Amino acid sequence: MKPEIVLCVDSESAKNPELIGLGGENLLSQPWLRLFCSAVEARAYLREADAVKEAWVASSDEMDPINLAAALKKDAGATSVCLVTFGGGGSLKSRASAAGIDATLTGADFASRYSSAKSRQPGAPRLSRAGADRKPEAATVCESVGRSLDLPTVAYPAGSGDETVCPIQGNPGANRPLSASESVASETKGDACGDARKASLRKTAFLITVVSATGGAGKSTVAALSAFFAQGFGYKTLLVDADLQAGDMRRLVGEESPVAIDEVIADRSRLEKAVPRESQPALLAAPKKLEQSESVASGLSRVVDDASSLFDVIVANTSSHWDESLVQLLERSSHVLFLVDQRPTSLGLSKHVLEMCSRCGIATTPFTFVVNRCTKNALITSFEATCSLGGSRAVELKDGGKEVAELLGAGLPLELIGTRNDLCLSMEHVLIDILPGNAALGQAPPSSSPERTRRFFLGRRKGRAACL
């Protein structure tokens, strides 16, 4: 029997199905279900499989669920792809819809869908201890997942008549009471599952990552303005300078002694010192010592994860060097602003980066290509960018002129925004379209605290005025 449904979960959930709301189920004994912990293997399988009706994505060992779901939908458009969510909100559903994902399922919806699919199977065989009536397809899956989890096989004593069984399935045929030590272990595992579920339901910030294929495209300017606009709209915002070698965000925003990323890696409590002040977002600066950049890169994603529960919006400035730390940021991103400037090389290298993302399984559906420094006679416009980049969505940022360099160079971003500069006006419109909730319609931001509901607009709208 060929599997009709693919389920993507992480290794821990594969071993403990109760973490995804399927307590007591033996996922590997279902001949209609194909289990994957590896995003790469799941994508490869769906590209070739022709009998798979649905793919359920709860998690994986390598990619964020929404990015994996988007990639699977791109790989196998005929297969219905469902994203399983145990938290999140409207913004996550909006992202899923924009990525072409067919449905988002809550934990209860997922459990019901699993039960319904299982009940439709005509007498699916149950695996015995000896594995004598194990189906070849189930055995293959069991061995594959067992190897990916690096689990040992378990063999019964010689002469017992029992053969080796799958370490994830355990012994489905055994119906004995638990020993005292096993009962304690079970209770401990239950507590761990509860903690994991609480962690999955915790608040998650909306992460905007600003990237480009070349240096000098204006990432630092766009990242700084994005953070200040988000803070001004009423979102509790953190600006992360992830340009670990050349980041100079502390000077651009006028922060003399901000908390640095390497300080948070060394002492997580330092993150609590990064606090927004009225219209000024909090800042996590790049390391002061250039030689620390390589060691800091490995801990960057953990810092962003830790900060995610403390803020509504996180804006990450990045370098033009595409490495593992940047890929990890992209996998966590709610939206990506990909900058293209007026140099033809910038557009050409952007195409190379898109091809790399495709090869690496990085979903590009959250990308918005931003053509920077646009003027009346600009060489590259949003139309040229869209055509060159295979129909990807592109928007324009107007050229702000000398004011941008002068005021940001002096560490005065609020004064720059207050000038109603063309760059700032176009930047505002881009942010309104991206941020969760529609700021232009006055919908509340994620935070419900009264002091965070203040917002401002620079656009030329009747009755609106800047309040920076």
Check residues 214 and 194 and name the one with the higher pLDDT: 214
Is residue 97 very low, low, confident or very high in pLDDT (cuts 50, 70, 90)?
confident
* 166 part of a folded domain: yes
For residue 181, the model assigns a pLDDT of 43
Res 314 pLDDT > 50: yes
For residue 311, the model assigns a pLDDT of 95
Same domain, 306 and 374: yes
**For the chain, what is the domain count?**
2
Same domain, 214 and 119: no
Lowest mean pLDDT among 115-129, 206-220, 261-275: 115-129
Check residues 162 and 48 and name the one with the higher pLDDT: 48
Instruction: Out of 156, 175, 200, pick the residue that ends a domain.
Output: 200
Res 265 pLDDT > 90: yes
Same domain, 237 and 222: yes
Same domain, 277 and 306: yes
Instruction: Out of 200, 220, 254, pick the residue that ends a domain.
Output: 200
Check residues 260 and 364 and name the one with the higher pLDDT: 260
CATH number of the domain at 70, please. Answer: 3.40.50.2300
Same domain, 210 and 163: no
* 463 part of a folded domain: no
Res 461 pLDDT > 60: no
For residue 394, the model assigns a pLDDT of 92
Q: Degrees (nearest 5) of the Cα angle 303, 237, 413? A: 115
Expressed as residue numbers, the domain containing 278 is 206-452
Is residue 29 very low, low, confident or very high in pLDDT (cuts 50, 70, 90)?
confident
Percent of the chain with pLDDT over 90: 42
DSSP sequence for 11-79: HHHHH-GGGGT-TT--GGG-TTEEEES-HHHHHHHHHH-SS--EEEES--SSS-HHHHHHHHHHH-TTS
Check residues 166 and 7 and name the one with the higher pLDDT: 7
The two three-digit tokens of residue 399, written as one number: 């050229």
Same domain, 301 and 359: yes
Same domain, 322 and 368: yes
User: What is the arithmetic mean of pLDDT over 410-439?
Assistant: 89
Q: Is 135 exposed, middle or buried (0-12, 13-18, 19+ CB in 10 A)?
A: middle
Mean pLDDT for the chain?
78
Tell me the per-residue pLDDT of 72-86, one tens digit each, with 9 for 90 and over: 988 888 899 999 987
* 338 part of a folded domain: yes
User: What is the arithmetic mean of pLDDT over 411-436?
Assistant: 93
* 457 part of a folded domain: no
Q: Is 29 exposed, middle or buried (0-12, 13-18, 19+ CB in 10 A)?
A: buried
For residue 127, the model assigns a pLDDT of 36
CATH number of the domain at 239, please. Answer: 3.40.50.300
* Contact of 86 with 107, CB cutoff 8 Å: yes
* 467 part of a folded domain: no
For residue 56, the model assigns a pLDDT of 95
* 459 part of a folded domain: no
For residue 2, the model assigns a pLDDT of 76
Is residue 120 very low, low, confident or very high in pLDDT (cuts 50, 70, 90)?
confident
Res 121 pLDDT > 80: no
From 272, 276, 265, 286, select the one nearest 227 (Cα to Cα): 276
For residue 278, the model assigns a pLDDT of 85
Alpha-carbon distance of 316 to 320, in angstroms, equals 13
For residue 134, the model assigns a pLDDT of 40
* Contact of 186 with 178, CB cutoff 8 Å: yes
For residue 303, the model assigns a pLDDT of 95
* Contact of 72 with 57, CB cutoff 8 Å: yes
Same domain, 320 and 334: yes
* 464 part of a folded domain: no
Instruction: Out of 178, 200, 222, pick the residue that ends a domain.
Output: 200
Same domain, 296 and 378: yes
Is residue 320 very low, low, confident or very high in pLDDT (cuts 50, 70, 90)?
confident
* 335 part of a folded domain: yes
Check residues 220 and 201 and name the one with the higher pLDDT: 220
Alpha-carbon distance of 276 to 264, in angstroms, equals 16
For residue 144, the model assigns a pLDDT of 46
170 half-sphere exposure, CB direction, 13 A CA radius: 12
Check residues 342 and 88 and name the one with the higher pLDDT: 342
Same domain, 189 and 213: no
Is residue 281 very low, low, confident or very high in pLDDT (cuts 50, 70, 90)?
very high
Same domain, 167 and 258: no
Alpha-carbon distance of 111 to 83, in angstroms, equals 13
Is residue 30 very low, low, confident or very high in pLDDT (cuts 50, 70, 90)?
confident
User: What is the arithmetic mean of pLDDT over 397-410?
Assistant: 94
Residue keyed to tokens 């304690």: 184
List the beta bridge partners of residue 239: 283, 315
Same domain, 231 and 308: yes
Is residue 185 very low, low, confident or very high in pLDDT (cuts 50, 70, 90)?
very low
